[in-house]
Amino acid sequence: MTLKNKKVLVTGAGGFIGSHLTEKLVNLGAKVTCFLHYRSDSSLENIDSFDNNIKNKLEIICGDLNDSDAVRKAAKGQEYIFHLGALIAVHYSYVHPRSYVQTNVLGTLNIIIAALENKVKKIIHTSTSEVYGTPNKVPIDENFPLQGQSPYSATKIAADKMVESFWHSYNLPMTIIRPFNTYGPRQSARAIIPTIITQAITNESIKIGNLNPKRDFVYVDDVVEGFILAAQNKNALGQTIQLSTNKEISIGELAKKINNYVGNECKIISENKRLRPLTSEVMRLKGDNSKAYNILKWKPKTNIDEGIKKTVSWISENIEKYKVDNYNI
């Protein structure tokens, strides 16, 4: 099955992963509608950086996931929905958890109701590896228990289960894609790799939180490929499929790797204000991607060194987009 000439809605299309997915869909010949959070300055987020030959092929709808009428309007006539719109910063979820419930849970409910009403062929819902919390062993597969160790992860668990319930209750055609820590060009500094890179380029020190947690980092192009394969594959219906590399690296080791690559010999500092609450910190995330390979024939193509090289290059050329000295939760 191909997505060429298919009507596709992407929520969160202006975000990090969403913008890369949107470009890929246009290049595949899909008819893409982007659902973006309304901004009074008319910003389209990362879509503003697209070449005109891509941007001019997009239909843009600005609204709010919490507005069921806006969501219903955006979903009308769509054949596929890629739902990436969400509040995603873990630290901000400690400050305003209610907004995460409203956007991530109720916003997802609005999307899947609209998908059901419009009889979409498939909805691809975006999960996160944070739903596992700190596991008792690794690698993690899709059958591991889910733990809400932050308000963010709790709302993503609820959203995942809401989508799953619509599959069982209403035969909503869906697949849940659960990426591990995605990174690459355009990612904001609220994520760890851009945080390290921007400081390594411009400062004498790199200030981060806990150096000990280990993560499984997946390059954004590989994640986008997983989304596309999930939409095209009928065997993915009703499934939760995670995208991971089966490898892990500690945050401290990652900082040293990036530091060495940039070549500025920055001092690496663990800063208290960047730490998560003690029992909220997820200490290890290393995924098992065998299900993704067995169903989708997906496996990552970009290793961590190659991916960091590409990301450093992009951030170096776009450093003005980052407020390096301001820590923003």
Give 291-320 pLDDT, tens digit per residue: 999 999 999 999 999 999 999 999 999 999
* Enclosing H/E stretch for 123: strand 122-126
Q: What is the CATH number of domain 7-184+218-246+286-301?
A: 3.40.50.720
DSSP codes joined into one string, 242-277: EE--S--EEHHHHHHHHHHHHT--PEEEE-GGGPPP
Catalytically active residues are 152
Q: Specify the pLDDT at position 251.
A: 98
How far apart are the C-alpha atoms of 43 and 36, rounded to whole Å? 10
* Enclosing H/E stretch for 178: strand 174-179
- At 289, the pLDDT band (50, 70, 90 cuts) reads very high
What is the residue whose two structure tokens read 């819902």?
125
Per-residue pLDDT, averaged over 125-152, amounts to: 97
Give 186-243 pLDDT, tens digit per residue: 999 989 999 999 999 999 999 999 999 999 999 999 999 999 999 999 999 999 999 9
Q: Specify the pLDDT at position 1.
A: 80
Q: Specify the pLDDT at position 95.
A: 96
Q: Which of 148, 147, 138 is nearest to 245 (CA)?
A: 138
